[in-house]
Amino acid sequence: MTEFDGKITDFRGLLHPLNRRRFLQGASALAGAAAVGAANAPAPAYADDKVLNLLSWPGHGDPAFVKPFEDKYGVKVVAKEYVGGEPMLALMNQSPPGSFDVVLADAEYIHMLQEGGFIDKMNPADYPLADYWPEFQHFPPHWVGEDLYSVMIRFGYLGIAYRTDVLSAQDVESYKVLWDEKIKGKVGFFDWYLPTMGCLSLYDGNSKPFDISADAFDKLKKTMFSLKPQASGFYSMADQFSMLTNGTAAAIPGIGDWVVLLLQKNGVPVSATVPKEGGIQWTESMSIVSSSTKKDLAKAFIQYASSPEGQARSAILPAYWASIPNKKGWEVLNKEHPADAKALRLTFDERNVMDEYKDGKIHIRQTPVQQSIEDWNDAWSEFKAM
Amino acid sequence: MRFAAVWGLPPLLWQLAFFVTPLGFLVAMTFWSVKNFRLIPDATLANWRFILNAGFFRSAYVYTFWLAALTALIASLVAFPAAYTLAYRLKPATRRFLIFMLVVPFFTSYPVRIYSTQIFFSPEGIINALIAPLGFGPVSVLNTPTGTVVGYLVLTLPLVVLLQTFALMNVPKTLIEAAHNLGCGRLRTILTVIVPSARVGLIVAATFTFVLAFGDYVAPLYLGGSKPPTLSILIADQVKSGNHWPRASVVAAIMILTLIVVMTGMLGLAYGRRGGRR
């Protein structure tokens, strides 16, 4: 028998270092992993009375935020996470009734949820709206006529996030910097059409960035497509953090403090700004899901989230930071986490986020008005594939 | 016959339940429509018309096909010397050990391996740190087609080496010895005796690579930065933007059709008669 005859026909030889018992252990571990995977599957989550089911952007089920609520009510908050308003709408549409008790959605989708009959009317007196900054006490996207459908929990501004070792504060005074030779191949994008196209629409000079004519929409597409040679990539939520950190992206339009504040805390040389053409405001708001069987608990959760303590904790959510609309929440934050309040510009004695709002540079994010969501999405797909 | 029926039936039923039925459902869904993010059973050709006419679909199709073919070629060429060494040059014990080592990568899940590859290729990553003192770089691989191909190779290369090794080991040794005895040089033996004899295995390995790369979602997303997107990313995008499962199904159906055509062609090449040389 020469070595050429050594064909492997018996694969047990390969298993030599693994005896049968270990092999079985491995197999059962695999089966276990599969079972855990199944348990993580979305919707018809838990009919359990001791569970509050939350549909939200990533990070809102974090113990750092929900623990006091869980302790007080002896319940567990289980969050199903999504990225982007359209996946949220899809989940609301597809999930069996009763899957969620509270939905945290961006303000621009509240009307769609209301029209679809997915969320309940709320009693304004149940929530501390009087403690909110006046600008946000009667926030239009949350109201249908005189009826309230959602309570604002967090907000933030979107402009340009950039590496301070590559670009200066003067550089980023205008969105024009995105076309700068210096950052060719280093302009990253958050892979969601709405924030980026909103900022570029402002650059195009549209005073209502989401309510634009067919001609302005064509121009917006041209503006966007001309950025392609500058592009470094299209990133998921998590990838934006790593790409700014490792320098693959030197600038990302359509994002803001929600990405850079945490990175700054880790010593990454990044900053965010609202350029002179203006910025977009994102808003996260909570509503009670109509099909919930635990509406009292849902109400209590939103009361907690809008309370001073809930607000302060939500502002420094480990997943991503944000501004909060409740002034008393600002007070708690300034008392307990003064450095974080300063970083977030939620202080009373210096220029703060509300001043920027008053400057009139901030435009509330909306879904497209004159075109369909599909039209904007298709333009985005086309941009990505160029 | 009864033996075949009893033992052959369960896998057949399995395939029927978990492959053929969903496939039928997928094809049916290509004719559905979406209203207010809700799927409506329908019989419309609108999804097919939209996808086939979309410029971004066409460019993604060409790009994905080209990259998968390139990966199959690179993987086959790179794997061959390794497979040759494994098959002919090593002691059985060493060979067994190395074959075992080629299976080890499959112990960790593929997305985890791709994420760790990011660390190697980031601008301040391991590779740039190593070549900088030598006066090279920095090389940028992340968010480029090169990154995507690297990811595809991470997925497929161990498998191709294994398949090629088994193919080479199955070449009758007598043929090789006859070639040597008749004074045929090593390279010529490889080209005229070994490769033609191992043809089926080599082609199957390349086809496998193509199939895996063509449908992969992880590498083009995390190493290629979706720039440009491949078909698998397009599927995810259609679902993400507006819950458009029907359009996503069209892309998937076209991908499956492509793979069937490619597989048929490749298997024809593998098993077909080759100009009467044998």
Contacts of B176 in chain A (CB under 8 A): 4
Mean pLDDT of A372-377: 89
Q: Which domains does chain B have, with CATH numbers?
A: 66-227 (1.10.3720.10)
Residue A4 lies in a domain: no
Poorest-pLDDT segment among A41-45, A50-54, A145-149? A41-45
| A337 shares contact with chain B (CB less than 8 Å) | no
ipTM for the whole complex: 0.75
Where do we find the tokens 């992880």? B218
Average pLDDT over residues B159-175: 94
Shortest distance between the Cα of A274 and any Cα of chain B, in A, equals 26
Total Cβ atoms within 10 A of residue A124: 15
Percent of chain A with pLDDT over 70: 88
Question: Does residue A335 lie within any of the structural domains?
Answer: no
Q: How many helices (H) and strands (E) does chain B have?
A: 15, 2
| Tens-digit pLDDT profile for residues A148-184 | 999 999 999 999 999 999 999 999 999 999 999 999 9
Q: Considering the domain boundaries, does residue A179 fall inside one?
A: yes
Are B143 and A232 in contact by the 8 Å Cβ rule? The answer is: yes
Distance CA A258, CA A243 (A): 15
Query: Which residues in chain A have their CB less than 8 angstroms from residue B88's CB?
Result: 3-4
Closest approach of A130 to chain B, Cα-based (Å): 35
- Greater pLDDT, B243 or A35: B243
Select from B56, B92, B224 the Cβ nearest to the Cβ of A385. Answer: B56
Spatial distance between the Cα atoms of A373 and A213, rounded to a whole number of angstroms: 14
Q: What is the overall mean pLDDT for chain B? A: 91
Give the helix ranges, DSSP H, for B16-91.
21-29, 46-53, 55-84
Q: Which of A83, A86, A163, A245 to mutate: most B Cβ within 10 Å?
A: A86
Which B-chain residues 53-112 have CB contacts (< 8 A) with chain A? Answer: 54-57, 59-60, 88, 90-92, 95-96, 99-100, 103
Instruction: Please write the tens of the pLDDT for every residue from B259-274.
Output: 999 999 999 999 886 5
CATH number at residue A226: 3.40.190.10
Number of domains in chain A: 1
Element spanning A284, H or E: strand A279-288
Residue A258 sits at the vertex; the CA angle it makes with A257 and A260, to the nearest 5 degrees, is 55
* Side chain identity, residue A151: V
Instruction: With a cut of 90, say whether residue B125 has pLDDT above it.
Output: no
What pLDDT is stored for residue A47 in this prediction? 53
Rounded Cα distance between A209 and A368, Å, is: 9
Q: What is the mean pLDDT of residues A275-304?
A: 96
Within a domain: residue A241?
yes
The domain in which residue A182 lies consists of: 156-281+364-385
Check CB contact of B241 with chain A, cutoff 8 Å.
yes
Q: Which residues pair with A356 in a beta bridge?
A: none
Pairs from A203-209 (Cβ < 8 Å, separation ≥ 24): A203/A174, A203/A175, A203/A176, A203/A275, A203/A277, A205/A277, A208/A363, A208/A369, A209/A278, A209/A280, A209/A363
Q: Is A362 helix (H, G, I), strand (E, B) or coil?
A: strand
At residue B133 the predicted structure's pLDDT band, cuts being 50, 70 and 90, is confident
Mark which residues 67-96 of A lie under 8 Å from B by CB.
Answer: 84, 86-87, 89-90, 92-94
Burial status of residue A291 (CB atoms within 10 A of its CB: 0-12, 13-18, 19 or more): middle
Q: Which of A116, A247, A377 sits opposite B123 (nearest CB)?
A: A247
A98 domain residue, yes or no: no
Residues in B 137-196 with any Cβ partner in A closer than 8 A: 140, 142-143, 166, 169-170, 173, 176
Q: Is residue A118 part of a domain?
A: no
Asked whether residue A96 is domain-assigned, the answer is no
Among chain B residues, CA nearest to A194: B241
Write out pLDDT tens, residues A321-359. Answer: 999 999 999 999 999 999 999 999 999 999 999 998 888
Q: Give me the residue from B88, B96, B169 closest to A14, CB to CB.
A: B96
Among A33-47, A82-96, A256-270, A281-295, which is the least confidently predicted range? A33-47
In angstroms, how far is the first alpha carbon of chain A from the final one?
Answer: 59
The answer to whether B258 touches B214, Cβ cutoff 8 Å, is yes
Q: Is residue A142 part of a domain?
A: no
Q: Which residues of A touch B54 (CB under 8 A)?
A: 378, 381-382
Task: Say yes or no to pLDDT of A373 above 90.
Answer: no
